[in-house]
Structure 1
């Protein structure tokens, strides 16, 4: 029985894909003087920022993170958009008595900024950010932490995200997993990680939760 839904934030609940991509491009150009293909950037979605930067310049990863964050904070609100069906789905899920949470690799201040920008923080019982765990996506600890705080078992939860790192986080924790097809990550790439469900619109999560509850309760 599904008792809680855990959501990734960027690219899942709010459309910050353009802001993220532009911030990566700016950072790589400014610090390394190189251009990175968008497909290479999108495959990092869901990972902690420091881990990504460390792969490109281990000694100066912190500097790259700072460059990224400074630029991203400037353009975030201008580039951010809503996804159709998200707030309606959250409202329905909440009315059905499900617990809701965010599990994101975005640091807390920016995660809360994004949630507040679209007035959806009111639906969330918890927000798990990198500050809350030692291990991060794609490890299962963030989802496990969310389940612990919500007082549910992992198998009673559904992890919804737009990247392989979200799917792996949910699977590694023992949660059901769900991929949004409006992901900026190449769909065939994420499908290799075999999410339990794939949806076109967030409203489909309502049906998944109700049907799963009927099936296994």
Structure 2
């Protein structure tokens, strides 16, 4: 089945924000009587809402910890965020081929748009963030909202993400799922969920989209 639109996750997919997220969680959770969580543990949290994650880790302290996290993340955002080579060119190429493109993230939409500007990603009209839905990945609600805003049937969408919750949400939404391995998720864990494709770099992602997208009445690779 060919699809006609693409929704992207942001953190770890369109931009390399993993060092920023790891540093911010460590800053937030380090305490004299409690060591900071390991990077592997933190990576397993990526893709889930911040408050939910922090409250689960330290019950009763979630709201306070969110403020601490965001203060650190904001202060270091522009220096720790990095470009994913080829991501901007791929999004631009999709837009030039008139493929509807959106971003669906578990962080606030304003922060996603700021990160897109910093990493020089092209503007997209549809950005669904934390506040746009009450349920969050792995629930399909954010992805379904993204499809609704694009005006595309969810079954005609591809969702591209780097975390286990991204693949789970795509399946739950009835979308094709493409997992990328340069972000938070371990490749074996991503493959175990049977996504439609797995990409180790943007060239492989471009190839995966070749087989999933319907462009100009037939399958064709977006090229930069």
TM range (shorter): over 0.9
* Residues 31, 64 of structure 1: 8 Å contact kept: no
Structure 2 gap segments, 5+ residues each:
220-224
Q: CA RMSD in A?
A: 1.6
With the length of structure 1 as denominator, give the TM-score of the two structures.
Answer: 0.93
* Residues 3, 157 of structure 2: 8 Å contact kept: yes
* 2:77 matched residue in structure 1: 76
**Distance in 2 separating the partners of 1:100 and 1:204:** 18
Q: How far does residue 50 in structure 1 lie from its aligned partner after superposition? A: 0.8
Q: How far does residue 35 in structure 1 lie from its aligned partner after superposition? A: 1.8
* 1:149 matched residue in structure 2: 149
Report whether the alignment pairs 1:128 with 2:125.
no
* 1:2 matched residue in structure 2: 3
- Which one has a larger percent helix, Structure 1 or Structure 2? 1
Q: How does 1:12-51 map to 2 (within 5 A)?
A: 12-30=13-31, 33-51=34-52
- Deviations 1:162-186, CA, capped at 9 Å, x for gaps: 1011111111111000011212332
Compare 84-93 and 15-24 and name the one that shifted more: 84-93
**Distance in 1 separating the partners of 2:67 and 2:33:** 14
User: Compared with structure 1, are the counterparts of its residues 204 and 61 closer, same or farther at alpha carbon in structure 2 (3 Å cutoff)?
Assistant: same
**Distance in 1 separating the partners of 2:143 and 2:69:** 26
Q: How does 1:83-94 map to 2 (within 5 A)?
A: 83-94=84-95
* 1:57 matched residue in structure 2: 58
* Residues 112, 121 of structure 1: 8 Å contact kept: no
* Residues 160, 180 of structure 2: 8 Å contact kept: yes
Q: In the comparison of the two structures, how many residue pairs are matched?
A: 214
**Distance in 2 separating the partners of 1:126 and 1:30:** 39
**Distance in 1 separating the partners of 2:32 and 2:144:** 36
Compare 111-120 and 11-20 and name the one that shifted more: 111-120
* Residues 9, 104 of structure 2: 8 Å contact kept: yes
Secondary structure, aligned partner of 1:194: coil
**Distance in 1 separating the partners of 2:168 and 2:195:** 9
**Distance in 2 separating the partners of 1:190 and 1:146:** 22
**Distance in 2 separating the partners of 1:96 and 1:105:** 27
* Residues 167, 193 of structure 1: 8 Å contact kept: yes
Q: How far does residue 120 in structure 1 lie from its aligned partner after superposition? A: 1.7
User: Compared with structure 1, are the counterparts of its residues 167 and 46 closer, same or farther at alpha carbon in structure 2 (3 Å cutoff)?
Assistant: same
With the length of structure 2 as denominator, give the TM-score of the two structures.
Answer: 0.90
